[in-house]
Amino acid sequence: MTLNGLLNLGSEALQANSFALNVTGQNIANASTPGYVTRTPILETQVDGSLTTGGVQATGVSRAYDQYTQARLYDATGLSSAADSRNSALQQLQSVFNDTAGTGLSAPISALFTSFSSLAANPTDTTTRENVLAAASGFTQAVNSASSSIIQQRQDLLSQAQGVATEINGYATQLASLNTQISVAQGEGNDASDLLAQRDQLLTQLSADVDVHTATDGKGQLVVSVSGTTLVEGGTAASLSVSTDTSGNMTLLSQTGTGPVVDVTSQLTGGKLAGIKEARDVDAEAEGQSLDQLTYDIGTAINTQQEAGYASDGSAGQALFTLGPSAQGAASSIALNPAMVGNPQLVAAASSAATAPGGSDNAVALANLANENIASGGTTTAADAYANIVGDVGLRAQSAQQDSETRDAMTSQVQTMRDSTSGVSLDEQMVALSNYQSAYSAASQLITTASTLLNGLITDLTP
Amino acid sequence: MRVSDSMQTDSILASLSSVENQLTAASQVASSGQKINEPSDDPVAAAQLVRVNASIAQATAYQSTITNVQGDLTLSESSLASAVDVVQNAQQIALEASNGSVPASDLQSMAGQISQLQNQLLAIANQKGTTGYLFSGSQTATAAFSAAGVFQGDGEDRVADVGAGNAAVVNVSGAQAFTAAGGVDVFSALTALQTALTTNDPAGISAGVNALTQAGSQITAAESDAGIKLDRLTTAASVQQQTQVSLATAQNGLDAADPAQAYTQLQTMESAVQQAIDTSRITLSTLSANRFG
């Protein structure tokens, strides 16, 4: 070992520790960067052939990265974001049926039936008859508006899903280009930590939109699959789009380049898209259908009874509502029969032409429909059927809320696991910093010492 | 476990937002006084509440129906009582005339009185209530009797809903009270009596006495029929009243928040939020301490 060797040793130590300080600096700088993975400098002893030099060298950084936890994080993020989307959609859906806030249909339905009850007590009074028409039109307006709220919500959810698909495509393009950059960097033997951290973060963001699975292909490139289809393979990205099928349900389509368009809806399991799809095509659809059925049942029962009676001028009763031939779309299309509008005398209170105008048998029969099992295939009363809708939408909203809470808790647990492995601890960095700082100071002291010795030697040896 | 800084800040955020959510929920209950502000708060109770509210609306409608029809039925009853008086007056006159010692000139004036009583009775039989002519059956727009005393209505019952499946008859049949359908045609009997008095026909006068006796009991029967119908309405009204009370209790039980409980919960949540904020402040001050100085 020579004095020059000592100088070399010192300089290597300076380099290695300054690299380590640099890495510590990166960690501190990125303490709050989402998706950043803590780096540890890899310091190794310098080997020169079979010689022991005692030197040190920095060979790179290692990332505190756990692929399993990361995959769990994608899953958990996907599930909790699906539950959140469904939850917020259902909170909106249940506001359509929120009778405690006065937005439900229970008041208009009651008003409709009680108007017949008042009619029976006073069949010749024009105001009472007008009140029947007003209650009937109040009922149609209330169901029309409930139905259009649901239709509008389904439309909004579709637009939202289309926005999400656009976002996914943006992520896919960025992931493809990151994949290319990473393989170039790694091919050139460079450290790709920053690029890898960016890619992880993009994947986490992507997993909030749709279910994400990652794998590595034969060439060592990352393959990202979503909803059972390959979204990104190496530098190639597919594109997703959201559309509707013939029955109006949301579909998720995938296309790679100019290849065929594939319907991948059935494999959608996570992320906002899955939550939106369930809220739109399962929850809102079911409530919309129940509302249609109830409207159709009430409308049909009243029309039938009204047609069985006689108006105050002795003419045969006409339908009170215009109604389609089936329940489908009934809630949005039901309206007061135009022939009845402004003609309160046509309300059929009497049960025969002879008993008009004072007869009230038919009005009693109309009022009694409130107590008859006219809804849900003749199994419940109208009020019960509506109560069932409220109960059902409440249960759905409640379970969505609980799901969302449970899954959020799961996600934050996984996030904690991930942060525990990969997050930056400033305490740790403080210790590392002072560690490397001392080593760096000691190394400079080493160089000073070697240099002093050398100087002394040169002075002594100089005649 | 290795604790990174972001774990600590994330957990502070999570616990703060959780207690604040609970505080919002508690303050909603306390300020609205309702346990159920959305169906998802308690789906089963929310559905039950809809049923209870529908029943309350119905009970209220039944009650207002009863109040509406009670007026006309009471008027019918008192009209019939006056009709009985009129018929009894006529009967008195007929009895007086039938004892044979009344001079012919008095008989003429008696005939005049009968004619006036007949007009009085016609006015009573054509009494109108809030729903039209009381004694015309379903022909409420037509006077029950023509000026000549011919019945123009029908014998139909008018019904109203006074309870679930309880349709009560709310009119008294004019046909039963005043026409041959009930036994004697009261107006024909009075006309016949008037003729008998004018023509001094003792047989006719005594037939008139009999007819009017029958007419009196016929109208009295109609009057008591009105009384029975009114009783039925009163019973129905008290049933609906009781129903409403028990429904209101049910509604209250389902929906109303216990003020003491709601307020206590609100205060508990308030101090929980305060504690969470204090704890967060301590944790954050540790985190932000200058460890590198």
Q: Chain A contacts of B65, Cβ < 8 Å?
A: 117-118, 120-121
pTM confidence score: 0.85
Q: Chain B contacts of A437, Cβ < 8 Å?
A: none
- A296 contacts A323 by C-beta, under 8 angstroms: yes
Q: Is A367 on the interface with B (CB under 8 A)?
A: yes
3-state secondary structure of A288: helix
The beta-carbon neighbor of A359 closest among B37, B54, B156 is B156
Residue B248 confidence (pLDDT): 92
Non-local (6+) Cβ contacts of B109 within 8 A are: none
Mean pLDDT of B30-50: 90
Q: How confident is the model at residue B5 (pLDDT cuts 50, 70, 90)?
A: confident
Residue B106 confidence (pLDDT): 87
DSSP-derived letter for residue B34 is B
Q: Is A433 on the interface with B (CB under 8 A)?
A: yes
Residue A163 confidence (pLDDT): 96
pLDDT digit string (tens) for B125-141?
999 998 889 999 888 88
Residue A32 confidence (pLDDT): 87
Percent of chain B past pLDDT 90, that is, above it, reads 60
Residue type, A277: K
Say whether B7 and A423 touch across the interface (CB within 8 A). yes
pLDDT digit string (tens) for B143-152?
999 998 899 9
- Exposed, middle or buried: residue B286 (CB in 10 Å: 0-12, 13-18, 19+)? exposed
Residue B286 confidence (pLDDT): 82
Which of residues 45 through 64 in chain B touch A, CB cutoff 8 A? 46-51, 53-55, 57-58, 60-62, 64
What one-character-per-residue DSSP string does A249-265 give? -EEEEEE-TTS--EE-G
Residue B164 confidence (pLDDT): 82
Tell which residue, B68, B84, B89, B95, has the closest CA to residue B236: B68
Which residue matches tokens 């009970």?
Answer: B59
Q: Is B10 on the interface with A (CB under 8 A)?
A: yes
Mean pLDDT of A274-301: 96
Q: Chain A contacts of B5, Cβ < 8 Å?
A: 31-32, 423-426
3-state secondary structure of A60: strand
What's the mean pLDDT when you consider all of chain A?
92
Is residue B33's pLDDT more than 90?
Answer: no
Enter the tokens of residue B253. Answer: 């039980």
Q: Chain A contacts of B139, Cβ < 8 Å?
A: 357-358
pLDDT digit string (tens) for B182-228?
899 999 999 999 999 999 888 999 999 999 999 999 999 999 999 99
DSSP-derived letter for residue A370 is G
SS (H, E, C) A422-444: HCCCHHHHHHHHHHHHHHHHHHH
Q: Chain B contacts of A358, Cβ < 8 Å?
A: 131-132, 136-141, 156, 158
Say whether A91 and B40 touch across the interface (CB within 8 A). yes
User: What gap in Å lies between CA B168 and CA A94, rounded to an integer?
Assistant: 40
Residue A220 confidence (pLDDT): 73
Which of residues 247 through 266 in chain B touch A, CB cutoff 8 A? 255
Mean pLDDT of A59-69: 89
Mean pLDDT of B274-284: 91
Q: Is A156 on the interface with B (CB under 8 A)?
A: no
Mean pLDDT of A175-190: 91
Q: Chain B contacts of A412, Cβ < 8 Å?
A: 10-11, 14
Cα-trace Rg, chain A: 37
Min Cα distance A185 → chain B (Å) is 29
State the angle between helix axes of A106-121 and B43-98 in degrees (0 to 180), rounded to the nearest 10.
Answer: 10
pLDDT digit string (tens) for A231-258?
999 899 999 999 999 999 999 999 998 8
Is residue B293's pLDDT more than 70?
Answer: no
Say whether A419 and B58 touch across the interface (CB within 8 A). no
DSSP-derived letter for residue B151 is B
**Regarding predicted confidence, which is higher, B258 or A170?**
A170
Is residue A339's pLDDT more than 70?
Answer: yes
Residue spans of beta strands (DSSP E) within A180-339: 212-216, 222-226, 229-233, 236-237, 239-244, 250-255, 262-263, 321-322, 335-336
The beta-carbon neighbor of A420 closest among B7, B69, B140 is B7
Q: How confident is the model at residue A461 (pLDDT cuts 50, 70, 90)?
A: confident
Q: How confident is the model at residue B163 (pLDDT cuts 50, 70, 90)?
A: confident
- B83 contacts B125 by C-beta, under 8 angstroms: yes
**Regarding predicted confidence, which is higher, A278 or B34?**
A278
- B251 contacts B49 by C-beta, under 8 angstroms: yes
**CA-to-CA dists, residue A436 to A25, A92, A428, A446, B118, angstroms:** 11, 56, 12, 15, 126
Residue A135 confidence (pLDDT): 95
Residue A47 confidence (pLDDT): 79
- A162 contacts A146 by C-beta, under 8 angstroms: no
Q: Chain A contacts of B42, Cβ < 8 Å?
A: 394
User: What gap in Å lies between CA B25 and CA B205, rounded to an integer?
Assistant: 87
Over the range A155-173, which residues count as b (16 or more CB within 10 Å of their CB) and which as e? eebbebbbebbebbbebbe
Q: How confident is the model at residue A439 (pLDDT cuts 50, 70, 90)?
A: very high
Say whether B136 and A358 touch across the interface (CB within 8 A). yes
